[in-house]
Structure 1
């Protein structure tokens, strides 16, 4: 099976590594890829959001399966173009990708499906902002209604800070979604979906804020770990039954069936799971940790989802133990990152490239905000953390920063579900 992966980040590098372990995968291509993906696949300098260019590349490499990693090409309809051209494609249609592309659309789907989520209100004009803010609090959740690469959310007890973020979004022409605050630890659950059948992966927990102790602004994600020792037995099945399957059924009833990876971001409270958000693709950096423990053939699983045969594939198999991924970020991230710095030590096992490129001399350099994802695997969470941070110690990138506490709260038993 010849597989083409679309995207250039750590998620795509992790997908390629996972696909390379599948004996049924004979050839790997990626567009555009990065400096690290070239070690496992053929990089192609193609714009991931250009549907015509992606279809032409799929024809050129005679792809048996195309896997779309990022959300932007999905929202723009690249999967639709590939399917129209006859390619088996892992990723939802543009209509189904609205589950991530429009938070208001996602809320409407959840309401119709009877899925628990935060109370919300869309504000599309500054004139309505103050009155709307008065209906929320004492913790305000302010979101960009569209795509924001994980950085369009502010959660704060400070009304002035909430108002400032909302006003900035509105000034930029972005509708604002205000939400009530959901109490309880957050879980990321990825599910393979073929329009009808739902197959869950291992649950993970992301660390969104830039600094240790969950301090500082939100980012695209600074690290993740799996599995979750504090999550009650049976909770994954409950999330599938109460959240994912009803949403999949509702989307099918609207003639917009979801095919690909449906990512439920949830808060686990006293009354069970409640949805924080849905994404229409593998999450980054959770993917890097989750796929490190996958034993089932990834290529066959994604092909089954793309071709409507997940019911015949069965549940996934997982390696025992735990996995941790820690993001190494460029100086000034999540602001405008410093780029072009030479990286050393990034060619060792367990290090996945995200924002990297090759300079004129052929050296690997930083080319984005989240530069590397460093993965550790071990018999338990402590061992996985130790391996990840040992590997980070060998990486040199001037001005870089990373969190030192990925998975630490879980390891120390400091995560509890409200009663």
Structure 2
């Protein structure tokens, strides 16, 4: 494919810098816009920046939005829809697909309308009403905040008590601490099983194949212990359409075509011997999921996004094995504490013990006079990936690469991918979810 012009837009936090960097390394012209002032330095030295994304629209052959948010409001779906109507090739959602993430009740309604079984759930905008619901209907629940505050991942709470008493206590605490910011929350019945996500790339008319099966690792510490984070790592593989896809995303193919959606869309579910229980949508790129997916693409990344945005039907070449990605973080991640960040992490140097950068991806990083440094204020400088014919081989490669990196105060989970090896694979196979 000839070289093209790519415009990447972060209208809230900077998230898509690594993909912009990968596309630029392929020889394409890239410009990257970041709205958040605190993130403006992210990807400096890696990609060319612009201060006015709208001024670059006519220049761009492809425009890529990395999230659904414009500051604290929904909005990239509306922008993407308007630009497509003007004839631009855009990777991005629509107002309705943005709503899938912002309003969990709406998301469950869309699934039900298309014949997908969903767990009992209810949305509340009043804490006392939600507390009374649990008292009147004892059982294990999951609390899922709504709106922008849902990005504060530690607020998601998975109940442990069969009578819901712990959920009542947490809701009372949230009312005091977060009542002024949390516009509402969903209570969803908790079930046990294997947590698994299926992700598809949609070209405006249909899903391209293969699809992506991935497993998130959200807790801070190994063994799935500690506070929830945005993500500490992901394991995955590519697959033909299977039962999990066919009974979730596959049933929305017509609806997404009517919307004209273009990009990545993901449904996270709990599966067990009784069925598939969808939990939530990610109608955008996942992070660091997209970094790991890019690592598994044998088709050039720029070509992949260009053909997707232009509605082409194609089958990208992918790694036919297993992959893992590990997020390398710095204090105070996953919390916000400016003083701790300033003291321990601001401008932290990234030192490599070898010259090989294969599998090393940037998140909150910049390049200054040839030196990689931490950037922004979130404490997520790198994602390190590995792949192999087995999950064990993928793990070995990723963690060998991490051993060659030195950042003062860095930390990461050392068990990404282990769940697959210690039972998840066997259970999914026994339940019949992985066959084509």
The TM-score bracket by the shorter chain reads: 0.7 to 0.9
Give the match for residue 9 of structure 2.
6
Give the RMSD, CA atoms, in angstroms.
3.1
> What secondary structure sits across from 2:69 in the alignment?
helix
Separation in 1, partners of 2:374, 2:295 = 25
Cα deviation, residue 137, structure 1:
5.5
Give the match for residue 48 of structure 2.
42
Q: Is the 8 A contact 1:10 1:352 kept in 2?
A: no
Give the match for residue 55 of structure 1.
54
> What secondary structure sits across from 1:95 in the alignment?
helix
Give the match for residue 70 of structure 1.
67
The counterpart of 1:270, out of the listed 265, 269, 273, is 273
- Asked if residue 27 in structure 1 is aligned to residue 29 in structure 2, the reply is yes
Query: Given the two structures, how large is their TM-score scaled by the length of structure 2?
Result: 0.81
Cα deviation, residue 218, structure 1:
0.9
- Asked if residue 192 in structure 1 is aligned to residue 194 in structure 2, the reply is no
Give the match for residue 134 of structure 2.
133
Cα deviation, residue 285, structure 1:
1.7
The counterpart of 1:391, out of the listed 401, 405, 421, is 401
Equivalent residue pairs, number: 398
Give the match for residue 114 of structure 2.
113
When residues 16 and 111 of structure 1 are mapped into structure 2, their CA distance, relative to the original with a 3 A threshold, is same
Which 10-residue stretch deviates more, 341-350 or 145-154?
341-350
Give the match for residue 361 of structure 2.
352
User: Any unmatched runs of 5+ in structure 2?
Assistant: 161-165, 432-436
Cα deviation, residue 161, structure 1:
4.5
Give the match for residue 171 of structure 2.
163
Cα deviation, residue 102, structure 1:
1.7
CA deviations 1:210-263 (Å, max 9, x no partner) are 1110001111000011228xxxx87x422332211322423556xx44222211
Cα deviation, residue 298, structure 1:
3.2
User: Any unmatched runs of 5+ in structure 1?
Assistant: 47-52
CA deviations 1:362-382 (Å, max 9, x no partner) are 761343232211112233222
Q: Is the 8 A contact 2:197 2:213 kept in 1?
A: yes
Q: Is the 8 A contact 2:45 2:368 kept in 1?
A: no
When residues 14 and 363 of structure 1 are mapped into structure 2, their CA distance, relative to the original with a 3 A threshold, is closer
Separation in 2, partners of 1:136, 1:219 = 29
**1:297-316 aligned within 5 A:** 297-309=300-312, 312-313=313-314, 315-316=315-316
- Asked if residue 335 in structure 1 is aligned to residue 335 in structure 2, the reply is yes
Separation in 2, partners of 1:163, 1:399 = 34
Cα deviation, residue 81, structure 1:
4.5
When residues 194 and 326 of structure 1 are mapped into structure 2, their CA distance, relative to the original with a 3 A threshold, is same
Separation in 1, partners of 2:311, 2:278 = 26
When residues 137 and 278 of structure 1 are mapped into structure 2, their CA distance, relative to the original with a 3 A threshold, is farther
